[in-house]
Structures are given as structure tokens and as C-alpha cells.
Amino acid sequence: MGPQILLSVLFCLIAAVHAGQLSLQSPKLTVVGPDGGKLRSEPISLQKRADPVVLGANDILKLTFQVTDQTSDGGVQPHQTFLRFFDSTTGEEGIQPVKVTPSGKAKFELNMAKPPSSLPPSGTAPLRVSLLLGSFVHGPAALDLFDLHVPPSASAPVHPDESFYHPRPEIAHTFRPEPKLPPRFVSAFFAALVLAPWVVLFGLWGAVKPSVPHLFSPSILSFVLSLALIEGLLLWYWVELRLGHILLYGSGAAALALLTGKQALVGIAARRTGSSK
């Protein structure tokens, strides 16, 4: 199988070398003005570059040709046919497909009043126009046709979000100055105002001299400690805890205070009635 494959590859290479080349027959350009009159009409020479073609804002360029095989001079329909517009100063290019009939004849029109999107942005430099031909049975061809002067392109419209893609001014953060502490005598006055009720409370309590002989009994002491636990949780909430935490821990402390309070009331009632548990 090895020699047969080598022979097949060799025959393909020979066929590619002897494949017919594509050419153009009777290429012609015509420039039509806005009123329909012909401003320029002449054949295109592939050996000598034609004079530059100048189009106005409303002119129409018409291009006709027939693709032929150099060996048989018969019409050929390439698999791909494109007109290439190239700006050598900017490197921009545009590719415009051209429809070719089975007999190889083609016709192309460029209306500057409605230019195709394939036309690249233009300036003062001319566009080099060339024809690209591709075929599976013929060798490819790239034929220079002429230089084309078209009106300069209008500036691209500014996108509404275009300003967001430029460097922005540096953000200068302005921080609020630290709050000033009030004078010490003001702080001392309000601290005394807060502590004054407690002073009054303890003073009245000392004058009344209440008797709490059973304060340290197990039932009453457990209730007082549960109340102290609730006060401690509130202080902790003010310092660090969040609302969810205080609701969770507070519900447990409240249930404990409810049970110990009930036991304290039962003990007090038992002592008043003189019964023992």
C-alpha cells in the first residue's frame, strides 16, 4: 500500500502544477453620476494599472468582467470571488463577495449614496481594489485592478457609554471629623443625674429598713440569680451581642426566671401558712 499512496500523492501534485489558472476577460469599469450620465467608462488592463478612479458622494461605480480559464479561454464559475478594498495607510480592509454566473460573468455596483458595510473607513489615501478568485480545480488568483478615491468617512457616532471607558478623576475621600467630647463638667453632671435615682432608692431603703430574712433561701436566691442573669444578658447585648443572640439567650433566661419565680412564690406561701415542705 505504501508505493500506491506515494504514486497517488505524486499524481495529485502533478495535477496541481498543471491546473489551469484563472484570468479575466473584458473587465470594464464605469462611473455614473447622480443624474445617470457616464462620467467615465473604460476597460481595465491587468498589465498596466489604470488611473485612479474618483467617486463623489452620489456616484456609482459599475464593474463587469468574465472569469475565464487561461488554457481554454472558456468561462469558469469560481467557488469564491471577492473584491478587496485596502487602505495601505491605516491597514483597514473590506471584503465584498461578488456573484458570478456559471458562464463566469459577473457584475458589481458600488453606490456611494448607500455604501456597503464592507467598505472600510476612508480618508485622503486611495483604496487599493483587487479581485480575489478561489477554485477547487484551478489555482487561486489575486488581480490588482485600480486605486479608488472615495469621500472621507464621517466620524463614528459617540456611544452614550463611551465616557465610562476613559480614565476617571481620582476619588478623594472626605471623612467626617471625629466627634468632640463634651467638657468634663457636663459629663459629670449627667452621670450624677443618672445615678441620683439609685442614691434616692438606697436612702429610702435604709430609712424603711426592710427585712428580708429568707433572701438566701434556695428558692428565693435562685430567682434573684435568674433576674441577675437577665440583667447581665442585657448588658452583654449592649456591648457585643446581636438581636438574634439576645432573643435566643433571653428566652432561656426568661424560662429559668419563670420556673424559679414560681418556686419562690410557693416557698413564701408555705411560710405564711405555717406549713413545711
For residues 16-22, average pLDDT:
61
Residue 31 in contact with residue 41, Cβ under 8 Å? yes
**Residue range of the domain that includes 227:** 214-277
**CATH number for the domain that contains residue 131:** 2.60.40.10
Of the pLDDT bands very low, low, confident and very high (cuts 50, 70, 90), residue 251 is very high
Does 246 lie in the same domain as 113? no
Does 122 lie in the same domain as 35? yes
The answer to the question of residue 92 being in a domain is yes
pLDDT, tens digit, 9 for 90 and up, residues 125-147 = 899 999 999 888 888 888 999 99
Does 135 lie in the same domain as 18? yes
Between residues 10 and 114, which one has the greater pLDDT? Answer: 114
Does 140 lie in the same domain as 41? yes
pLDDT, tens digit, 9 for 90 and up, residues 54-99 = 998 899 999 999 999 887 778 888 999 999 999 988 888 999 999 9
pTM above 0.85, yes or no: no
SS (H, E, C) 123-168: CCCCEEEEEEEECCCCECEEEEEEEEECCCCCCCCCCCCHHHHCCC
Rounded to the nearest 10°, the torsion over CA 39, 44, 48, 50 is: 20
Q: How is residue 75 annotated by DSSP?
A: B
Does 146 lie in the same domain as 14? yes
pLDDT, tens digit, 9 for 90 and up, residues 136-193 = 888 888 899 999 999 887 666 777 888 888 888 888 888 888 888 889 899 899 989 9
Tell me what pLDDT residue 201 has.
85
Residue 57 in contact with residue 112, Cβ under 8 Å? yes
Give the chain's domain count.
2
